Amino acid sequence: MRKFFRGLWRALMFPFVLLYKLILFPFQAPARVWAYLNTDPDETSEKTLIDHVEDFRTHLLWILVIIAIAVGVSFYFTIPLMKYLAIPVGGLTKLQAIEVTEEIGVYMRVALTSGLTISIPFIAFGFWRFAATGLKAREKKFSLLAIPVATILFVGGVWTTHSLLIPAALPFLGGFTEIAQVWTAKEYFGFITGLMLWIGIFFESPLVIFALTYVGVIQPKVLVEQWRLAIVIIAILAAAVTPTIDPVNMGLVMLPMTLLYFFSILLSYFAAALRGRGAREAENVEEFGAGKPVG
């Protein structure tokens, strides 16, 4: 009987407790975030592989929820966005829909692309939150920069595709012969949204290379020595991403990817220098704590 009244009391008080926590949240959140950023990982408690998989699954679930919400928000401006994306071909009226479900399919594809773009900061935060459990306080605060950088890189890739690659590709594709060009909405939006997403993802490569170098997985010397192999891999990826077989569009995709690779080499050297500096500081701290002279 006591458990029943206790549960009833908690149910009745839940709205008031929730309101109390919501009022205090703006005041308590900064202090909690700052304390979390200045906390080193607990080396005494070692997580198993199953624990890491569970944590990753939880963060991945939240990322999927955020993407679903962002896609839902994108529904409100998908039509204006489609009109904007169709400007290079003269507007939506210049496109055709042959299949019965083609219009709704194109609408959903553009909404999904827009939702993914909007979700990039939250996706980056989700992966940072997963990795932050094993980072030291200094590394947590430094790695927070990855969230705005990842957003800027992805949006930069989307902008580069829409403003530079597509305007250069469409005239070539539409004027290669004297055949009249009547494009369907499915083919057109599939072409541009696919390029936007893939180029946006490829633009994240400098950040990935920087992170892998900082944790010691990749060495900048290897990136310099294997640049020829990297060009071949980039060519294969560009051929797979480009929906046409002509070398012009493939070259348009390869150019930014190649420039990003060499830019990644510079970032890799910078990450290696930061990693070496952090290791030296850690050694100095250990020596000082052990009572040994530093220097």
pTM (2 decimals)? 0.78
Residue 277 has pLDDT above 50, yes or no: yes
Place of tokens 């979390």: 36
| pLDDT per position as a tens digit, 6-59 | 776 777 776 766 676 677 666 666 777 667 677 766 655 566 667 777 888 888
Backbone angles phi and psi of 253, in degrees to 5:
-80, -40
Mean pLDDT of the 247-265 span:
83
User: What span, in angstroms and rounded, lies between the C-alpha atoms of 213 and 128?
Assistant: 16
Query: Which pLDDT tens digit goes with each residue over 54-99?
Result: 888 888 898 899 999 999 999 999 999 999 998 888 888 888 888 8
Residue 78 pLDDT? 92
Q: What is the arithmetic mean of pLDDT over 244-273?
A: 82
Convert the pLDDT of each residue in 116-129 to its tens digit: 999 999 998 888 88
Say if residue 293's pLDDT is above 60: no
Output the average pLDDT for the chain: 80
* pLDDT computed for residue 294 by the predictor: 47
Q: How far is CA 98 from the centre of its chain?
A: 34
